C-alpha cells in the first residue's frame, strides 16, 4: 500500500441521478501522482458530472472520494481546493473584466494568502504585501510564458479567443499549486500545434509529480498523452487500462460501434449534449491508428 500522498485520487462507486436519469452509475477510477489519467466517453456519458463530484460541486447519491488517503466525500469545494485539487471547466470560466495576467495573479494571490504569515507591525505587513504582490506577478508571468499566451497578458480575458481562455483557466488552476489537476476538454478550440504543446505540458506536469485527470473527446490526443485510460459509457466505466489495450478492447469497440448503429435509449441522455456527434468523433479516433 503506497504512502497516503502517493495515493492521489481514489473515487469509487460514484452515482449521480438527475430525476429519472442516472448520469453516473457506480463509476470509479484512480488518478495517482506522476501520471496522466484520461477519461473518455460519448456526449452525455457522465464525465463532467463525475468531475463535479470529485471537486465537490455536486453531491453524489452514492460512492466515495478519497485524495491522498483522506476521505473528502461530503467536503466543501473550497476545502478540496485547499487540499490541492484544481480544475478547469468545459466552458472556460474567467473573470472577463480583468486582464489575462490579472486573472492568473488573483489565483496566485489567493493561494499565497492561505499560507500567509501576518507581519507584526504595519510597515512589516506593508512590506510583506508588496513582496507577495511582486512574487505572484512573477508567478503569473512565468505561467503565461509556459502556456504560450504571454502576448495576451494585457488583454481583457473576456475578449480573447475561446482556446486562449481555456489556457488562462489552466494557468489559473496551476497558480494554486495543485497536486491533482482535473481538465475538462482542455484542447477544445485549440489549433493543432497548441493542442500538441498542451500534450507536452501535461506530460511535464505529470513528470513534476502532479496527478492529471483529463476528459477529452479527441481520442488521438488522449492516446498520445495518457498513461491510463478509462472509458465511461452511460455513467459506467466499461474499460480501463493502458490506452493501447483499451483501444482494442472488444467491449469498447462494441459500445461505440453499437451506439453508432442504434440511437441512444430514450430514457438516457435526452439533453442537447447527447447527440450522436460525440460518438462519431470518438469513433474516428478509435479507428485512427
Residues that bind ligand ATP (CB under 6 A): 18, 21, 23, 41, 43-49, 90, 269, 271, 273-274, 278
Q: Is 176 a binder of Mg ion (CB under 5 A)?
A: no
Q: Is 48 a binder of Mg ion (CB under 5 A)?
A: yes
Stretch that binds Mg ion, among 24-32, 55-63, 83-91, 98-106 (CB under 5 A): 83-91
String of b and e for 115-135 (b: at least 16 CB within 10 Å)?
eeeeeeeeeeeeeeeeebeee
Residue 8 partner contact from Mg ion, ligand ATP, none using kind-dependent CB cut-offs of 5 to 8 Å: none
Residue 269 partner contact from Mg ion, ligand ATP, none using kind-dependent CB cut-offs of 5 to 8 Å: ligand ATP
In the complex, residue closest to ligand ATP by CB: 271
In the complex, residue closest to Mg ion by CB: 48
Stretch that binds Mg ion, among 48-56, 139-147, 220-228, 242-250 (CB under 5 A): 48-56
Query: Which of 193, 258, 264, 213 has the alpha carbon at shortest distance from 234?
Result: 264
Residue listed under C-alpha cell 495517482? 32
Stretch that binds Mg ion, among 27-35, 39-47, 77-85, 195-203 (CB under 5 A): 39-47
Per-residue interface string for the shown chain with Mg ion, residues 84-103, x marking contact by CB under 5 A: ------x-------------
Closest contact distance (angstroms) between CB of 51 and Mg ion is 8
Torsion angle defined by CA atoms of residues 178, 34, 24 and 162, in that order, rounded to the nearest 10 degrees: 60
Task: Give the whole-angstrom CA distance, residue 23 versus residue 26.
Answer: 10
Closest contact distance (angstroms) between CB of 165 and ligand ATP is 17
Query: Which of 55, 134, 141 has the alpha carbon at shortest distance from 90?
Result: 55
Task: Give the whole-angstrom CA distance, residue 57 versus residue 198.
Answer: 26
Query: Which of 87, 91, 99 has the alpha carbon at shortest distance from 160?
Result: 99
| Full 3-state SS string of 249-278 | CHHHHHHHHHHHHCCCCCCCCCCCCCCHHH
By the criterion CB under 5 A, which residues form the site for Mg ion? 47-48, 90
Amino acid at each position: 500500500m503506497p504512502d497516503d500522498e502517493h495515493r492521489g485520487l481514489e473515487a469509487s462507486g460514484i452515482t449521480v441521478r438527475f430525476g429519472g436519469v442516472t448520469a453516473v452509475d457506480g463509476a470509479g477510477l484512480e488518478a495517482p501522482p506522476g501520471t496522466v489519467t484520461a477519461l473518455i466517453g460519448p456526449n452525455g456519458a457522465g464525465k463532467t458530472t463525475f468531475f463535479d463530484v470529485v471537486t465537490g460541486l455536486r453531491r453524489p447519491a452514492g460512492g466515495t472520494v478519497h485524495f491522498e488517503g483522506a476521505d473528502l466525500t461530503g467536503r466543501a469545494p473550497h476545502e478540496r481546493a485547499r487540499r490541492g485539487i484544481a480544475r478547469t471547466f468545459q466552458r472556460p470560466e474567467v473573470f472577463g473584466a480583468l486582464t489575462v495576467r490579472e486573472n492568473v495573479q488573483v489565483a496566485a494571490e489567493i493561494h499565497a494568502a492561505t499560507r500567509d504569515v501576518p507581519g507584526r507591525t504595519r510597515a512589516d505587513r506593508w512590506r510583506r504585501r508588496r513582496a507577495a504582490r511582486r512574487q505572484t506577478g512573477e508567478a503569473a508571468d512565468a505561467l503565461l510564458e509556459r502556456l504560450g499566451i504571454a502576448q495576451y497578458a494585457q488583454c481583457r480575458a473576456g475578449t480573447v479567443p475561446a482556446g486562449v481562455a481555456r489556457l488562462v483557466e489552466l494557468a489559473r488552476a496551476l497558480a494554486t499549486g495543485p497536486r491533482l489537476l482535473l481538465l475538462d476538454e482542455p484542447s477544445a478550440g485549440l489549433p493543432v500545434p497548441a493542442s500538441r504543446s498542451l500534450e507536452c505540458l501535461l506530460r511535464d506536469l505529470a513528470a513534476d509529480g502532479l496527478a492529471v485527470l483529463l476528459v477529452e473527446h479527441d481520442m488521438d490526443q488522449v492516446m498520445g498523452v495518457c498513461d491510463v485510460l478509462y472509458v465511461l459509457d452511460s455513467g459506467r466505466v466499461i474499460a480501463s487500462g493502458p490506452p493501447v489495450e483499451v483501444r482494442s478492447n472488444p467491449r469498447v469497440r462494441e459500445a461505440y460501434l453499437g451506439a453508432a448503429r442504434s440511437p441512444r435509449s430514450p430514457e438516457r441522455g435526452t439533453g442537447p449534449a447527447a447527440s450522436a456527434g460525440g460518438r462519431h468523433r470518438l469513433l474516428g479516433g478509435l479507428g485512427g491508428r
